[in-house]
């Protein structure tokens, strides 16, 4: 079993492991690789929904995703992400984001498995929000360390406003401290972050888009091309991702989400 980094800071392929039969030692290696590389990939896996769920459960309690129907009621933790046809776009997946930051305790991680793939296209891009923070000036870092931002489920789409009462807006630190590594990451995104709380509207119009654009810089990215049997496992606490909607054939992915904790600010 060995780990092949894709970039100096973000992304790695883990070879020589069968996720359906991973023992505690293998799970420990995956955990360490995830903390180091933030997103890890596996090729040629033979997983069904139960095996995908059981692998994800090795890293913490699973969370039934707030929207999206289970693929199988017997495995309610697994839900499908379906694209293709004349409209390959899947919700807001082709906007840079971290999963479900509108929750008071957003997911720690997500495990995504390819089920049906187009012949070409449908890659997923990932961005390193910790490297993005490190690249800022020290003065900007100090300012952001003290700020919070509102994350709003309704901000993602007008048709979701009926669920607004179920998922009211929450406030998270703009800079999040990773509970395991202690590294700081930018924790704002274009889908769910509606404003930085301490700033005026005019200031928000400038700073919030600037931070979101900064995170998605090519300097902080890696790109994954899916094949049959591919699996991706990413740390939502320090990454963002973007699904490229450049295909017309069916694309079906199955995802499991691992429960997280309330984000902690550097000043807390």
In this prediction, residue 94 carries a pLDDT of: 74
In this prediction, residue 166 carries a pLDDT of: 80
| Predicted confidence (pLDDT) per residue in 201-232, tens digit | 999 999 999 999 999 999 999 999 999 999 99
Q: pTM higher than 0.85 for the full model?
A: yes
| Predicted confidence (pLDDT) per residue in 58-92, tens digit | 999 998 876 667 788 889 999 999 987 665 555 56
In 35-146 the beta strands, taken as DSSP E runs, fall at: 39-42, 62-63, 70-72, 75-83, 109-116, 124-128
Contact of 241 with 124, CB cutoff 8 Å: yes
d(CA 152, CA 5): 35
Q: What is the DSSP letter of 153?
A: G
CA distances from 126 to 31, 95, 189, 236 (A): 18, 11, 13, 10
The catalytic residue positions are 97, 99, 241, 255
| Predicted confidence (pLDDT) per residue in 7-54, tens digit | 999 999 999 999 999 999 999 999 999 999 999 999 999 999 999 999
């Amino acid at each position: 079993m060995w780990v092949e980094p894709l970039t100096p800071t973000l992304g790695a392929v883990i070879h020589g492991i069968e996720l359906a039969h991973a023992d505690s030692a293998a799970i420990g290696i995956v955990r360490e690789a995830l903390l180091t590389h933030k997103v890890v990939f596996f090729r040629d896996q033979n997983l069904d929904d139960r095996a995908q769920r059981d692998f994800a459960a090795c890293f913490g309690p699973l969370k039934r995703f707030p929207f999206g129907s289970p693929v199988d009621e017997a495995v309610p933790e697994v839900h499908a992400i379906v694209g293709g046809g004349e409209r390959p776009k899947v919700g807001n997946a082709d906007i840079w984001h971290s999963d479900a930051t509108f929750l008071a305790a957003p997911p720690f991680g997500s495990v995504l498995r390819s089920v049906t793939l187009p012949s070409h296209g449908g890659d997923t891009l990932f961005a390193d929000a910790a490297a993005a923070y490190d690249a800022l000036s020290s003065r900007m870092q100090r300012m952001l360390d003290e700020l919070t931002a509102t994350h709003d489920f309704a901000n993602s789409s007008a048709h979701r406003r009926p669920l607004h009462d179920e998922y009211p807006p929450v406030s998270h630190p703009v800079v999040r401290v990773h509970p395991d590594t202690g590294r700081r990451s930018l924790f704002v995104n274009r889908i769910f972050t509606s404003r930085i709380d301490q700033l005026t509207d005019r200031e928000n119009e400038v700073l919030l888009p600037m931070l979101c654009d900064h995170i998605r810089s090519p300097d902080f990215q890696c790109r994954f091309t899916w094949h049959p049997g591919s699996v991706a496992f990413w740390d939502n606490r320090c990454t963002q991702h973007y699904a490229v909607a450049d295909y017309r054939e069916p694309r079906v992915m199955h995802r499991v989400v691992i429960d997280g904790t309330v984000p902690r600010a550097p000043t807390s």
